[in-house]
A = this chain, B = another copy of it.
Amino acid sequence: MTKLIEYEEASDEVRAVYDDIRATRQTEYINNFWKSIANHPPTLRRTWETLKEVMASPGEIDPLMRELIYIAVSVTNGCDYCIASHTAAARAKGMSDTMLGELLAIAATANMTNRLANGYQIPVDEVFKT
């Protein structure tokens, strides 16, 4: 298990990222993901910048839907940490039990049909290639 880097013991480089996480998310809480990847400061900085741009900048997909997409990927990969943290994030943004149920049904169904497509070695339709 990784060592969790707390704010008090962090370098200035790491603290600057933690400060920005707190300001962006408007909470004092820094979750374990950031405290773990802080073991490699360049990865902490770069990952936070990426997450901030991809998940929190203006765009055509609304913030709650972005979280649902994140969960769909994490569920497909079986990443326990990411499923737990992004399910919590989605609930904080308004995801209902029904919406979670629908999301998991879509993700599960896609996993099912992905394998049928593989197994039957289905050629891509010409109309889908343009």
| Size range of the chain A interface in the assembly | 35 or more
**Chain B residue nearest in CB terms to A96:** B60
Interface flags, A101-130, vs B, CB<8A=1, else 0 = 111111111111111111111111101110
Dominant SS among interface residues on chain A? helix
Copy number in this complex? 6
The residues of B that contact A117 with a CB separation of less than 8 Å are 33, 36, 79, 81-82
Contact B43 A129 (CB under 8 A): no
Measuring CB to CB, which residues of chain A are less than 8 angstroms from any residue of chain B? 1-2, 29, 31-33, 36-37, 39-40, 42-43, 46-47, 49-51, 53-55, 59-61, 65-66, 68-88, 96-125, 127-129
